Amino acid sequence: MCVFCKIINKEIPSYTLYENDYVFCFLDISQATKGHTLVVPKKHVQNIFELDEIEAAEIMKATVLVSNILKEKLHVENINLLNNSGVLAGQTVMHFHLHVLPRYGNDEIDFHQVEHEPNFEDLDKLYAILKA
Ligand code: 5GP
Ligand code: ZN
What local confidence, expressed as pLDDT, does residue 112 receive? Answer: 86
- The verdict on whether 95 is a catalytic residue reads no
CA of 11 to the centre of ligand 1 (A): 16
Statement: residue 103 has pLDDT above 90: yes
35 to each of 19, 21, 22, 61, how far by Cα in Å?
17, 23, 22, 18
Number of domains in the chain: 1
Task: Give the residue numbers spanning the domain of 73.
Answer: 3-131
Q: The domain that contains 30 carries what CATH number?
A: 3.30.428.10
Distance CA 101, CA 34 (A): 8
Distance CA 86, CA 12 (A): 24
pLDDT in tens, 24-80: 999 999 999 999 999 999 999 999 999 999 999 999 999 999 999 999 999 999 999
CA of 103 to the centre of ligand 2 (A): 28
* 36, 95, 97, 99: the active-site residue: 97
